[in-house]
Amino acid sequence: MALLNFRRSAQSGQTTANSPDIEALMQGYSIEVMPRTAEKIADFRAILPAGTRVYIAHIDGTPIADMVATAARLRAAGMEPMPHFPARIINDRQELSDWVSRYQGEADVRQALMLGGGVTTPKGAYDNSMQLLETGLFDKFDRLHVAGHPEGNRDIGPDGGHEIIADALRWKQDFARSTGMNMAIVTQFAFEAKPIVAWADGLRAQGITLPVHLGIAGPAKLQTLIKFAIACGVGPSLRVLQKRARDVSKLLLPFEPTELVAELAAHKAAHPDFAVERLHFFPLGGIKANADWNIANGGAAAQPAQH
């Protein structure tokens, strides 16, 4: 049974289907893959709208050849590949330059996500994404995204590192302004709307005006989401999953982001200057399952390839 878009009517408090607010927020969404998960998709054109931005997560140990091949395949399918550049897994400038050259030459990559990376100890010369930006190797890219953390990041500081993160975002914003680079913040996923809204409003209060592409966990089994949420350091909003887990009747049912997306869409409609510009999906329950959910909930339909 297809899912329905919905929202709460301010006048009646009732749910209405096919909300234009949700459809507006769902337009231009992005999604994330890894080389090994991308291999399971026979044809991205059959499940994603043309031109979809597809982030390619670079997990430590993944051969660069696999990353580049995935980017080339996505480009050939009419998608916009955006590979990760995790600073702490890059040995030196020569290796970074090689990655950039291969992405540009073999896959026509024009966009990248710059981040510190998930390892504690840097492998080489780089500790953070600002150092990557300073190399000048990305000056010819069309767009660079940087990481955001609505619930903080305990890898940065025991309190979530909020002040350190804010200072880094201001630096990156200044970099974007001085270079003319298109830049946005893409975030870790969370499960509650109110803390997300408070975090996004807090960015604006601190003078950080970069648009936010908000991380959303796609539909998945509850156990899967809890596992990934703990591994990724999701904070207080984890309680949403924990509360659901106490209901044994819901343990085996997929958890879907329908309610969260509806609340964010309603807030965006009421506050057009809300920092969240687009949604970015982490397909923890599978790429096709996430793509199907997106289409059923206001996202643009895919255009299957002609044979």
Report pLDDT digits (tens) over 118-168. Answer: 788 999 999 999 999 999 999 999 999 999 988 755 555 455 456 888 899
Task: Using alpha carbons, select from 228, 233, 212 the residue that is nearest to residue 279.
Answer: 212
| Alpha carbon distances (Å) from 241 to 8, 79, 245 | 22, 32, 6
217-245 pLDDT, tens per residue?
Answer: 999 887 777 776 666 656 565 666 666 55
In this prediction the pTM is 0.87
69-125 pLDDT, tens per residue?
Answer: 999 999 999 999 999 999 999 999 999 999 999 999 999 999 999 999 878 899 999
Alpha helices in the chain (DSSP H): 20-26, 35-38, 64-76, 93-107, 129-134, 162-179, 193-205, 222-231, 238-245, 258-270, 287-296
Gap between the Cα atoms of 32 and 159, Å rounded: 28
- C-alpha dihedral over 201, 204, 205, 208, to 10 degrees? 140
Q: Quick one: three-class SS letters along 139-165?
A: CCCCEEEEEECCCCCCCCCCCCCHHHH
- C-alpha dihedral over 98, 133, 211, 62, to 10 degrees? 30
- C-alpha dihedral over 7, 10, 15, 17, to 10 degrees? -50
Task: Using alpha carbons, select from 97, 85, 95 the residue that is nearest to residue 130.
Answer: 85
In this structure, what token pair is assigned to residue 194? 């109110």
Residue 249 has phi, psi (to 5 degrees) of -65, -15
Alpha carbon 305 to chain centroid distance?
A: 26
Statement: residue 306 has pLDDT above 70: no
Question: What radius of gyration, in Å, describes the C-alpha atoms of the chain?
Answer: 19
DSSP 259-270: HHHHHHHHHHHH
Domains by residue range for the chain, with CATH: 16-221+255-296 (3.20.20.220)
Looking at residue 119, what is its pLDDT? Answer: 80
Matching residue, tokens 């680079």:
181
Query: Lowest-confidence range among 16-30, 128-142, 162-176?
Result: 16-30
What band does 278 get if pLDDT is binned at 50, 70 and 90? very high
272: left (phi over 0), alpha (psi -120 to 50) or beta: alpha
Looking at residue 194, what is its pLDDT? Answer: 92
Gap between the Cα atoms of 288 and 305, Å rounded: 16
3-state SS, residue 31? strand
Percent of the chain with pLDDT over 90: 70
Query: Residues 47-72: what's their mean pLDDT?
Result: 97
Round to the nearest angstrom and report the end-to-end CA distance of the chain: 29
Looking at residue 225, what is its pLDDT? Answer: 75
Gap between the Cα atoms of 109 and 38, Å rounded: 17
